[in-house]
Structure 1
Amino acid sequence: MARKEPRLIWREGNCIELLENGGEFFPALCRDIDEAKASVHLETYIFNLDDTGRRVLSHLKAACERGVKVRVVIDGFGSYPQATEIARLLEQMGAQLRIYRPEPNGLGRFRFKLKRLRRLHRKVTVIDRRIGFVGGINIIDDLEDVPDDGQGPRPRFDFAVRIRGPIVQDLVKAQSDLWIRMGWRRRDDWNEFYQRLKGWRERRAQALAETQERFEPGMRASVLLRDNLRFRNTIENVYVHALETARHDVLIANSYFFPGRRLKEALRRAARRGVRVRLLLQGRAEYAIQYRACRSMYHRVLQAGIEIYEYQPSYLHAKVAVIDGCAMVGSSNMDPFSLLLARETNVFISDEGFAEELKNSLERELSNSCNHVTAES
């Protein structure tokens, strides 16, 4: 029996473009930053100062010089090696930076604390409150630290979406809420603070109303957040419900696949109902522990009638799915880090045309770049 549908905020009338790999993502991102008139708000887990990272910084600097308000949020662990230099460069150009859970210095870096596992893993950029980018692509070059078998490196396989329309307001709210929370501090002037907060909310609502676009015909979509307060299970619940109601085809590409009991059972039940369930997983080990943990489940997954394919040319970094006529694109893996600890953002899109486009991209790689895993192999 299908589970009750999760409570989602659906937005109609969106224009959503699929971007494959950094080769499509970074030109689109930099072009929109160059056209920004008022604001750029960028969040990322990894910000690497390679050629691509410095290219993005140069476009942010040009935006600052035009008077655009630039805000950047990076994760304290994901961007740890270069966080100090990134902060210096952003400060020089006049941008604002906040670091989510900065890593401790000295011996503290070697002490384990549970809260250090709660990371900002989402990758979200909003420009002028009317264009949004969501996906799994960090600010890092596609060819940085990838395998090379002697024929030249191949880029990480990943996706993002460029969004215009009513759904962007949900991204704006999510970013604004986190920015305020990260700037929280002890204070004595609470009355003045609440008045400022009230005024800010009114200005934000007015700005959203003025910048909101609606496309006809447009796509129906919902922003899915995961945090450790209000949205602890949102992404997992949507996955489970979509799997429970699937009738024909499930195709999931996930870089770190180690789901809990609910997701595993939903996948098995779908396969038992006659749904074709295919998993596109890593064939090259970027992180050995996660890779081996995923492979430890292969025998049971195959026994359930689920097909497994391993991506061979480079690292698979995608976190996407096509379930009948719906598609999922975002930052959340199907593992304990994403589903239990990290802040994540996915977009769930109910549009057959978009789902077909994503499915075609994945099936191209299944045919050309993957090994089909069998019980014998």
Structure 2
Amino acid sequence: MEPEIAFSVADNDFAMVPSGARRRGLILDTIGGARETLDLLFYDFADDQSGVAVRDALIAAARRGVAVRLVIDGFGLRDMADAETFFAPLREAGASGFAFNASLGRRYLIRNHQKILIADGATAIIGGANIADDYLGDEDGCWRDLWLRVEGDCVVALGDYYDAIYEWMGDKKARLRKLADLVARASTTSGPLQWQFSAPWPRHTPWPSGLIRDLWSAKEVDLVAAYFSPSAAMLRRLERVAKDGGRVNLLTPAKSDNDTTIAAARHNYHQLLEAGVEIHEYEKTKMHTKLVIVDDAVHIGSSNFDFRSLFLNLEVMLRIHDEKAAQLMRDWVRTELADSRAITPELHARRDTLWQRTLWAISNFLVTSMDYTVSRRLNLPLGSDD
């Protein structure tokens, strides 16, 4: 089992958890150790063995007097056989919560894609992994992903954000402008630790805006993206770093439960390779990791590097500006490359048939314009990998 990767920044302690089994132990231990409050916000919560274990841990916490709040995205509950019955014992134990955007309306296409757990206002978990067996295990076929455990004063700001977003989510008449303003106020742009959020409003996109600021002067970029289909402006920024003599390394999946997202990423490979960007595809198992390292700044959290995450979803990212932390993360990315395949210009040229280009373009359109569930149902074929 892989060890945690621990470091400290500005009197806050962090541990990066790449092992699914360790993530399962971490969340159960954190819930079991809570004494006053537990606040959870996740995209997906399954009714499998891991989901039952987490639900039952929350029930036990509520019964011992812990105030438990839980929000799950409405789309993330659709795979459950009966969500109402599954969560009924948790409500009976005194917990509160709801499904986000469960009803039709103007807000229907907005997805809560955040993954947040806060215990007693002092310990937090953020990252990309959901609550399900294939995110909380290391067997063949499980998702390769990351969580970050955060302990220290910076958790207070995340707790304030949770309080505000929970209130907004509970108001069925809440306006999108209020959500955008809330996200903008909660995001920070100074100091070694910055919470940066995104929401569906063009005026306020703090997380991608913060990343773009870092990329303007970047010399070294490592980007690990489960879904890679960004805007043209973001692509140009990455290309410019490479063309100006910087090093850009992109790691995307070769395996997924949604091959359309892989095809969408390949739609952008040609221009990136021409600019000098290094590209690898992770082959060991399905990859769901979200991590960007720009020089000495680390961006880690729930956001994919696609149009929906950057401009439509609710996302949470933590920017950590620290040379040691960045190097630890960069060293970890290097170990991931050992289980990856380099996408050379020659390999991409062999794949780049007219038929494949057409599929890649269609896939990119679907991924950038529609909900994940639509592209997953279509699941367009990848074709040959040789």
Same-fold call, TM cutoff 0.5: yes
- In the alignment, what sits opposite 2:99? 99
Matches within 5 A, 1:34-113: 34-82=32-80, 83-103=83-103
Instruction: Name the CA distance, whole Å, in 1 between partners of 2:196 and 2:203.
Output: 8
* Residue 374 in structure 1 maps to residue 366 in structure 2: no
Residue by residue, what CA displacement relative to the aligned partner does 1:122-155 show, whole Å, maximum 9, x if unpaired? 0011100111111101111136999xxxxx6143
**1:175-324 alignment to 2 at 5 Å?**
175-184=162-171, 220-229=192-201, 232-247=204-219, 249-324=220-295
Does 1:339 find its partner at 2:331?
A: no
- 1:229 Cα deviation after fit: 4.8
In 2, are the aligned partners of 1:21 and 1:137 still within 8 Å (CA)? no
Please tell me the residue identity of whatever aligns with 1:374.
T
Q: For 2:297 and 2:22, how far apart are their aligned partners in 1?
A: 22
**Residue 88 (structure 1) shift:** 1.7
**In 1, Cα distance between equivalents of 2:218 and 2:86:** 45
Any conservation in 1 of the 2:251–2:280 contact (CA below 8 Å)? Answer: yes
Q: 2:140 aligns with which of 136, 139, 153?
A: 153
Shift of 1:231: 7.3
Question: Contact 2:20/2:136 (CA < 8 Å) preserved in 1?
Answer: no
1:211 equivalent in structure 2: none
The structure-2 alpha-carbon separation of the partners of 1:56 and 1:292, relative to structure 1 and needing over 3 Å to count, comes to: same
**CA drift at 1:93:** 2.6
Cα pair distance change 1:78/1:59, threshold 3 Å: same
Residue 76 of structure 2 aligns to a residue whose secondary structure is: coil
- Alpha-carbon contact 2:129-2:135 (below 8 Å) kept: no
Aligned to 2:161: 174
Q: Which residue of 2 aligns with 1:204?
A: none
For residues 356 and 184 of structure 1, the distance between their equivalents in structure 2, rounded to whole angstroms, comes to: 43
TM-score (norm 2): 0.78
Query: Residues 285 and 132 of structure 1: is their aligned pair in 2 closer, same or farther, counting only changes over 3 Å?
Result: closer
Shift of 1:116: 2.5
Paired letter, 2:262: Y
Query: How many Å separate the matches in 2 of 1:14 and 1:58?
Result: 30
Residue 114 (structure 1) shift: 6.3
Relative CO higher for 1 or 2, CA cutoff 8 Å, sep ≥ 6? 1
Report the identity percentage: 28
Deviation at 1:35, TM superposition (A): 1.2
2-structure distance, mates of 1:309, 1:28: 30
SS at match of 2:22: helix
Distance 1:226 1:185, change over 3 A: closer
Distance, in Å, in 2 between the alignment partners of 1:141 and 1:353 is: 32
Unmatched tracts of structure 1, length 5 or more: 1-10, 105-112, 147-151, 187-218
Contact 1:225–1:231 (CA<8 Å) still a contact in 2? Answer: no
TM-score (norm 1): 0.80
- Number of aligned residues: 320
